[in-house]
């Protein structure tokens, strides 16, 4: 698999110049490059999407995420620290009720869920990484979760890894991709003013090769609702 680029949406407090950021970025780029198909081939070759009647055959996405995490833990030797507490008891900003105009603070009652991978750099930098395996709504949730974690100082680095528009075309699940997120980058960049020290980044990845070989296997596709929907999209 190819690493295409890493977009740093904001860097508060000079995290981008730290040894921890350089170390983790190099490490996860190596993990991206390690993802191959077939396993052991050294490159990620995907079967090109194919239309059969009213349905599309595309590649599943779970394999890519699992291979990434496998390499980060097994080869790069990062220790996965599990879930991050996104401070559910954090104080909400005061807002106005209308028409009373009273100040009000809405309590946090939703569970944000964990991140795909959380670890700590050699110098103590807390890092959260999300690998996109869902649709565009999932991409927005991931970016919002990372931003909240940075603002509440529970991590200092937040990274979302997601497909290029070219890779997206050959994956099912209507998966999120950089093309669909590109119009929202300025919004996440503006959140820097609520972060004392932290870096928010998006890394874009892509396949190495496509094939039309009829004997070449597609990556396995899940059977949930998004996967079924993904098989019908153009």
- Distance set, CA 88 to CA 85, 109, 111, 191 (Å): 7, 8, 8, 19
DSSP 44: B
Contacts of 228 (CB under 8 A, 6+ apart): none
Does residue 171 contact residue 233 with C-beta atoms inside 8 Å? no
Q: Are strands 126-131 and 117-120 parallel, antiparallel or unpaired?
A: antiparallel
Which of 132, 180, 189, 206 is the catalytic position?
A: 132
Element (H, E) at 31: helix 19-33
User: What value, to the nearest 5°, has the Cα angle with vertex 42 and ends 5 and 130?
Assistant: 40
Does the active-site annotation cover 132?
yes
Q: Which residues of 4-38 are buried (b: 16+ CB within 10 A; e: fewer)?
A: eeebbbbbbeebeebebbebbbebbbebbbbbebe
Catalytically annotated residues: 132
């Amino acid at each position: 698999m190819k690493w295409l680029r890493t977009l740093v949406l904001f860097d508060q407090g000079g995290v981008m110049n730290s040894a921890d950021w350089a170390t983790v970025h190099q490490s996860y780029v190596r993990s991206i490059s390690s993802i191959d198909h077939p396993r052991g081939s050294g490159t990620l070759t995907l079967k090109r999407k194919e239309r059969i009647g009213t349905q599309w055959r595309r590649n599943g996405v779970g394999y890519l995420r699992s291979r990434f995490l496998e390499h980060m833990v097994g080869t790069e030797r990062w220790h996965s620290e599990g879930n991050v507490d996104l401070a559910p008891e954090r104080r909400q900003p005061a807002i106005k009720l209308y028409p009373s105009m009273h100040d009000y603070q809405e309590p946090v009652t939703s569970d944000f869920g964990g991140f795909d991978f959380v670890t700590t750099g050699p110098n103590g930098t807390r890092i959260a990484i999300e690998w996109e395996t869902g649709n565009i709504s999932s991409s927005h949730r991931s970016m919002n979760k990372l931003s909240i974690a940075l603002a509440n100082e529970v991590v200092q680095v937040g990274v979302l890894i997601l497909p290029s528009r070219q890779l997206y075309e050959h994956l099912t699940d209507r998966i999120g991709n950089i093309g669909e997120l590109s119009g929202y980058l300025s919004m996440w960049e503006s959140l820097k003013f609520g972060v004392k020290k932290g870096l928010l980044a998006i890394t874009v990845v892509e396949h190495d090769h496509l094939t039309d070989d009829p004997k070449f296997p597609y990556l396995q596709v899940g059977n949930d609702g998004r996967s079924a929907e993904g098989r019908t999209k153009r």
